[in-house]
Structure 1
């Protein structure tokens, strides 16, 4: 058995990214925070999530995040399986976050992508079937993905 415990991100503004994450997942709490040194640079960090899974946010980033419109190597997006895609989308949009991409229409899932203030893309996917072969069906889309936001 295995599970993904955490994702570690370096961001320019911890509070801005924390706001995005807690808007999407209002039940997530800051589990801990502190300061450390990373290759001679002092930075702040925090863990936000549940008792079992979390995202680490670290300050003191330098440079720009990967251009999501490019084919440059790096993180493309972080995907979360959710029960209420419409609720997450509503909360994010009410707080000023724009949909970046609408996933292709599919009979067994719905997906939306948002970009957080640090430039990381978050995918939220709601499965419409409990049958694994349907959930994991590749093909069957009835439309193309739509890029709607400014990545």
Structure 2
């Protein structure tokens, strides 16, 4: 068996990304935290998630994160499947986060993208089918991506 367990992100400050993740996933918790050395740099770290999966956040990042819309190497986004996309969007909106990208219309899934305060992009998607051949259907999208969306109704900023 193979399964993805965690992602490890380096941020300038832990708290803004931690707040974003705990807003998106209120069932998650701070699993652990500590201090360590990365090369010659002392840094703090946290594990946030559930008993199965988590994200590690390390502080003391230096420099700029890759441009989300650019073609530089690096992480483009992390994707998460959720049961209730509208509830997630509402929680994030209540805390002042706005949708970066509203995905194209698809018969079997809905997607939204957010960028957290550290500059990492997260995709959240809800499947509208339990059938793998429908969930994993490529093509069939209609419309276009909408950017800087204020709500799921598709109003652009």
TM range (shorter): over 0.9
Normalised by the size of structure 1, how large is the TM-score?
A: 0.97
Instruction: Output the CA distance in 1 between the equivalents of 2:27 and 2:148.
Output: 28
Other-structure match for 1:76? 76
Q: CA deviation at 1:141?
A: 0.8
SS of residue matched to 1:83: coil
Q: Name the CA distance, whole Å, in 1 between partners of 2:26 and 2:121.
A: 18
3-state SS in 2 of match to 1:148: strand
1:44-72 per-residue CA deviation (whole Å, 9 max, x = no partner) reads 00000001100000001000111112111
| Residue number in structure 2 paired with 1:104 | 104
Partner of 1:23: 23
**In the alignment, what sits opposite 2:88?**
88
1:116 aligned onto 2:124:
no
Instruction: Return the TM-score normalized by structure 2.
Output: 0.93
* Alpha-carbon separation, structure 1, partners of 2:79 and 2:57: 17
Structure 2 unpaired stretches of 5+: 150-157
Correspondence 1:36-51 to 2 at 5 A: 36-51=36-51
Local SS of the residue matching 2:15 = helix
Gaps of 5+ in 1: none
- Per the alignment, residue 9 of structure 1 pairs with 9
SS at match of 2:129: coil
How far off is 1:89 after superposition? 0.5
- Distance in 2, matches of 1:63 and 1:96, equals 26
The number of residues matched between the two structures is 149
CA deviation profile, 1:101-148 (whole Å, cap 9, x unmatched): 000000000000000011000000000000100001111112111122
Q: CA–CA distance in 2 between the matches of 1:93 and 1:65? A: 24
Deviation for aligned residue 1:2: 1.2
Name the counterpart of 2:35.
35
